[in-house]
Amino acid sequence: MTLATLADVLQPALREGYAVAGLVTLGWEDMRAYVAAAEAEGVPVILQAGPSCRAHTPLPVLGAMFRHLADQASVPVVAHLDHGYTFDECREALDSGFTSLMFDGSRLPLDENIAKTKEIADMAHAAGISCEGEIGFVGYSGGEDSAGTDPEEARRFAAETGVDAMAISAGNVHLQENKEGGLDEPRIRAIEAATNVPLVIHGGSGVPVAQRGLLSRGSAICKFNVGTELRMAFGEALRAAVNSDPARFDRVTILKDTHEPLVAATRRVLEGFKGESQC
């Protein structure tokens, strides 16, 4: 069994200079492919259940799926709640077997974000699992604008919440389909100087691949969340599978054809986060 907490996989990453991918899941097909890719690359992986995933599949089912994959895997697998917005939601994830809780209080005033995140972190740590929080606000492509993380607020947040990982806003955007622009490295360096907690980049699909690699090996960013990039790869493979034989109607047969293309796309993502010790 290789079920792991977020701290289990991020602390070695921080020490040794690499990053771990937080891969956003939507169903069995992608989470299975993500674990297969991680095994092929010999790296840990964080399976993430975000709000859209949870709207489709209940948390107890997702927890069982994640834990089943971890039981069979040869690499560490983290069962992670992504963007939990309430105490009750985080509690349900814990009770469903998740090993990591991300509480998103980024829309709240600073003091309230700190207090609520600390409550979740204390609950997680009492149960022997991990907690990620967010300071600053990461916006959405075509939607809400970002608010960059203030280094002094990050210092307070890290010190007062006790989180195992801290998501920051430094030019990253959720749901971005291209890799134009990039991260604000001076802001990242200022946050690093003020804290010693592993840092997380949400919206990793929109970060240029070269910058992802450089920051994985040369900064405190230990976790990149990647969703859109791999959803696009899955969608392309699914369209090809459907169009290859219009007479096919069995979804299991069709979905089988998405596995290898998605594994290949995921391996390319994972390879870019490796450090020298993993190559």
Report whether 224 contacts 204 (CB < 8 A).
yes
Full residue range of the structural domain in which residue 201 is found: 3-278
Confidence of residue 175 (pLDDT cuts 50, 70, 90): low
Q: Is the pTM of this model over 0.85?
A: yes
3-state secondary structure of 102: strand
List the structure tokens of 244: 């290859």
Q: How far apart are CA 89 and CA 87, in angstroms?
A: 5
- pLDDT tens readout for residues 85-99: 999 999 999 999 999
The total of structural domains in the chain comes to 1
| Active-site amino acid positions | 82
Report whether 184 contacts 199 (CB < 8 A).
no
Instruction: Look up the CATH number of the domain holding residue 229.
Output: 3.20.20.70
Mean pLDDT of 160-185: 86
Q: What angle do CA 155, 130, 110 make, to 5 degrees?
A: 35
Q: Which pLDDT belongs to residue 1?
A: 59
- pLDDT tens readout for residues 220-256: 999 999 999 999 999 999 999 999 998 999 999 999 9
Q: What is the DSSP letter of 206?
A: G
Q: What type of residue is 144? A: E
List the structure tokens of 169: 């806003």
Q: Which pLDDT belongs to residue 216?
A: 96
Mean pLDDT of the chain: 94
Q: What type of residue is 204? A: G
